[in-house]
Amino acid sequence: MEDIPGKPVNVSSVDIGKNSIVLTWKPPIERNGIVLKYTITYMFKERVCRGLGGYTSKYLPVNSTSYTLMDSIYPHWNYSIWINASNSVGTGNVSDTVDISTIEERPSSDIDSISSAMVTSTNATIKWSDPCYLNGILTAYFVELNTTVGESRGFDEWKIDRRNIVLYGLLPFRNYSVRVKAANSAGNGTYNASHRFQTDIDVPDSPSDVTTGDVTCCSIEVRWKRALNFTGPTQYTVIATDYHNTSIEFINTTHVGWWTDELANTSVVLGLDQFWRYSIKVIAETTYGNLTYRHYSTPVIITTAEDRPGKVQNLNVTAEKDLQKPRKLYVSWDPPIERDLNGIIVHYEIYCTNGNQTIVTTPSYRSLIIPLSIDSVTNVTVQVRAETSVGLGEHEESTVEVDPRSKAGISAPNLIPAIVGGLSAAVVVIAIVAVFVYTKRTNRVCFSAKTVESGQIGKEIEISELATEYVFKTGTILLAAFPDHVEKMHKDSNLLFAVAFKVKKRCRSCIVYCSSYRNSTFIFSGRLFICNLFIYKL
């Protein structure tokens, strides 16, 4: 009589793959009839992304004693398998349970839950989760970092055994992308989704080698070395601080540079004072979002160029009040205020409407007396202006009233005739001294120092007395009359030399002596003649 069959025996797996299991078994020892079919039951946990589901079972009726399982067979997955036989009476007992694990396969390529945290200008922490399906025991992770710097692209790769990494040595204000793949004994997964992040800005390079380009009287072109490192969107501010009054500043700001070759390295500061000292500093400022960083250059002292000076100060013009004294003006002034000097004063120019006089003085003379001539104009205007190497500045003027009853002033003398006369006199002195030395050394005499008897002529030579006191008399001479006096004096002196020369020709035994520079005395046969230039004794 038939009964339900016994359990199948020797259930085993002859081939285990990553997605398949090949099972074999033998019929029950107690068949108790004709075995019509076998039922394979395998139980496993449901496969869910990044985790395990609940247990589930699958049933497969087969007619043979071997079968290849493929449905719901996953890599590196655990299965519990048993088999029972069935005949016409019913289903028999199950076989012994067989636990089987499939082999590993490379991890899936769906590591897409990547995040960045604690991002600074140079560091970032990257975290990620496991692949959706591990397909084995993970042995490592590979992290790929990509960046674009200018036109070049580069990447770095690290192999680690954890699900986070701290990236060091990043560049400020750069866009990075990171990808992660997992690895197990079957091999490495593949990179898939990437995560992008941006580093923060950082402190900009200090502007270095600050120099000047074109410097005018009112502007300074400031130059500095372009930064080598890009730390974020950066603009530069040039501040010119008044060296004498630090509360006065002139500021100019450049454009924002978004890459190294866009960073400014020059700026022009306008509106400065002429020939004035300024402390120049350049500020590099990098700003993005809520972050701002600054870096200052070392200050440099720069002086603007010269310009025409401003007006002189405290011009004072006063007319002579004493009617017994010559008419004249007393003029004094002070330099322009320091901020209006606009350079180094080289001259002062004074113009007086009386006689259209123009006088130029050196910087050390800031007062003078201007003699006035008599004319019908009682109001006299004096203009004074300073001059630098650039040119004359704006004049300051003052008008005073001159009493018409005052005496005419003495114009400044023309000293050229006096100078010429003095030089001529010096030449005469040198010539006479030369004659004197020559006669002494050669024992030749031209004139006698006393009355001389000549063996050849046999009588005294006597020169009639010359009345020269009206020409050579000493006394006070007006400065204005001095050139005429010198000219007349030389004419009379030439006359005396002519007389002396005639005497010399008539008497070759006479001796000439010359001495004394202040007064000149001519002695002819014991007679003395006085000249205001030289002394001659005959």
What pLDDT does residue 469 have?
A: 41
Distance CA 316, CA 384 (A): 10
Question: What contacts 151, CB < 8 A, 6 or more positions away?
Answer: none
Q: 0.75 cut: is pTM over it? A: no
User: pLDDT by residue (tens digit) across 209-220?
Assistant: 999 999 999 999
Distance CA 249, CA 238 (A): 10
Least confident range from 244-258, 405-419, 490-504: namely 405-419
What pLDDT does residue 148 have?
A: 72
% of the chain surpassing 90 pLDDT:
63
CA 102 to chain CA centroid, Å, is 73
Torsions phi, psi for 270 (to 5 deg): -110, 170
Residue type, 286: T
Homologous superfamily (CATH) of 208-303 is Immunoglobulins (2.60.40.10)
What's the number of CA atoms in the CB half-sphere (13 Å) around residue 287? 8
Neighbours of 367 (CB within 10 A): 10
% of the chain surpassing 70 pLDDT:
74
- Residue 25 or 410, more confident: 25
What pLDDT does residue 27 have?
A: 93
- Does the structure show a pLDDT above 70 at 495? no
What pLDDT does residue 473 have?
A: 44
Least confident range from 48-62, 234-248, 505-519: namely 505-519
CA terminus-to-terminus distance, the chain = 196
Confidence of residue 3 (pLDDT cuts 50, 70, 90): confident
Pick the CATH number of 313-401 from 3.30.1240.10, 3.90.600.10, 2.60.40.10, 3.10.20.440: 2.60.40.10
Confidence of residue 520 (pLDDT cuts 50, 70, 90): very low
- Does the structure show a pLDDT above 80 at 268? yes
Torsions phi, psi for 37 (to 5 deg): -160, 165
Confidence of residue 468 (pLDDT cuts 50, 70, 90): very low
Token look-up 């704006």 returns: 394
The tokens of 164 are what? 């986070």
What pLDDT does residue 397 have?
A: 95
The tokens of 83 are what? 């088999």
- Residue 324 or 252, more confident: 252
- Does the structure show a pLDDT above 80 at 99? yes
349 with 384: CB under 8 angstroms? yes
Fold (CATH) for 9-101: Immunoglobulin-like (2.60.40)
Domain boundaries, the chain: 9-101, 115-198, 208-303, 313-401, 416-537
What pLDDT does residue 449 have?
A: 39
What pLDDT does residue 327 have?
A: 86
Pick the CATH number of 115-198 from 3.30.830.10, 2.60.40.10, 3.40.50.150, 1.50.40.10: 2.60.40.10
What pLDDT does residue 401 have?
A: 87
User: pLDDT by residue (tens digit) across 372-391?
Assistant: 886 767 789 999 999 999 99
Q: Hey, is 334 helix, strand or coil?
A: strand
Highest mean pLDDT among 88-92, 321-325, 461-465, 478-482: 88-92
Distance CA 64, CA 307 (A): 114
336 with 393: CB under 8 angstroms? yes
C-alpha torsion 209→213→216→220, nearest 10: -40
What pLDDT does residue 499 have?
A: 52
What pLDDT does residue 274 have?
A: 94
What pLDDT does residue 11 have?
A: 94
Round the average pLDDT of the chain to a whole number and report it: 82
The tokens of 69 are what? 């399982």
Token look-up 């701290």 returns: 166
What pLDDT does residue 154 have?
A: 72
Q: Hey, is 416 helix, strand or coil?
A: helix
Q: Which long-range contacts (CB under 8 A, 24 or more apart) does 111-116 make?
A: 111/179, 111/180, 111/181, 111/182, 111/189, 111/192, 111/193, 112/192, 112/193, 114/178, 114/179, 114/180, 114/193, 114/194, 114/195, 115/195, 116/178, 116/195, 116/197
Confidence of residue 491 (pLDDT cuts 50, 70, 90): low
Confidence of residue 305 (pLDDT cuts 50, 70, 90): very high
**Region 177-188 average pLDDT:** 94
Residue type, 324: Q
The answer to whether domain 115-198 and domain 313-401 are alike in fold is yes
User: pLDDT by residue (tens digit) across 215-258?
Assistant: 999 999 999 999 999 999 999 999 999 999 999 999 999 999 99
The tokens of 72 are what? 């719901």
